[in-house]
Amino acid sequence: MKSTTSAATVKEVRKLFAQFGLPHQLVTDNGPQFVSNEFEAFLKSNGVKHVLSAPYHPATNGQAERLVQSFKQSMRASENSDGNVEKKVAQFLLAYRAAPHCVTNETPAKLFLGRELRTRLDLLKPDIQSVMSTKLLSQSGNMTETRQVDGKVWVRDYRGADKWVPGQVTAQHGERHYDVDVVNGQCRRHIDQLRSREEHNISLQIEPDLPERCAAPTRDSNHASVSCGETSSLEPVLQPTPRRLKQDNPGPPDRLNLYLGNI
């Protein structure tokens, strides 16, 4: 902060409230920007209890003072290391938020975010979550269809007149995305936009997986119209059951007509 006036302090505190929500209690020292009427009115309007520490007794706000002490020790220890001040501050904050607290036995990140932060130490142990996600997807059948690298496929094309063009898979990204070489360059496609050449004989002028158009309906000897795929046997045609009229449905019982009032 370039200024420590009450207006500037309220502006910065409002940003924190908008990002993390309104706290139940705020502990500060007796600085002039904290005891001003403007700052007190701001906290009161947001339902935040303001607690002032005793003058000349910084131990009242011991948690903040302990954090300042840890930060100063970290900065002194990193004087001979490479990097600017912003990099050293970021490294300290990551290490502090990922370390368990001596009182709660939990990390500040776990208490605040509900999860642990990922650090470089996590590279030394397997990622159990990703392994479990892969196994669950394979068991559910969502990963049964794949494309092999260097495999020949039909590629959905959005740049030319032909909707499907031949291509060859060059690389796989994740579980569903592939890099494919086509005639006019390279593109990335989802697995839903690829078809195997061995399984699908796709004409370049028609869409794949579409049913063939039926021929014109024929008529049997009794001049009865016969649709595509049906035989000319004189089987009785089942008429669809008519829907109930609107008046046949009395609607929900009166006991469900509750008056909720203004919420």
252 touches 261 (CB < 8 A):
no
pLDDT in tens, 5-42: 999 999 999 999 999 999 999 988 889 999 999 999 99
> How high is the pLDDT of residue 102?
86
Nearest alpha-carbon partner for 95 in 76, 70, 66 = 70
Distance CA 49, CA 61 (A): 15
Q: Which two tokens stand for residue 79?
A: 């004087």
Residue 255 vs residues 258, 259, 260: alpha-carbon distances, Å: 7, 11, 13
pTM score above 0.75: no
Q: Which residues contact 71 (CB under 8 A, 6 or more apart)?
A: 92
Most confident of 57-61, 233-237, 244-248: 57-61
205, pLDDT greater than 70: no
Average pLDDT, the chain: 77
Q: Which residues contact 28 (CB under 8 A, 6 or more apart)?
A: 34, 50, 51, 52, 53, 61
CA atoms in the 13 A half-sphere facing the CB of 125 = 6
Structural Rg of the chain based on CA atoms:
35
230, pLDDT greater than 50: no
Going by pLDDT thresholds of 50, 70 and 90, the confidence category of residue 173 is confident
Q: Identify any residues that bridge with 154 across adjacent strands, giving them in sequence order.
A: 166, 195
DSSP state of 111: H
DSSP state of 207: -
As a whole-number percent, the residues of the chain with pLDDT over 90 amount to: 29
Domain extents in the chain: 6-52, 63-113, 152-196
- Mean pLDDT across 172-182: 86
Locate tokens 């208490």: which residue?
Answer: 111
Q: 180 phi and psi, to 5 degrees?
A: -130, 135
> How high is the pLDDT of residue 211?
45
Domain made up of 152-196: CATH architecture: Roll (2.30)
Q: Where are the alpha helices (H) located in the chain, listed in sequence order?
A: 6-20, 37-45, 62-77, 85-98, 108-113, 128-140
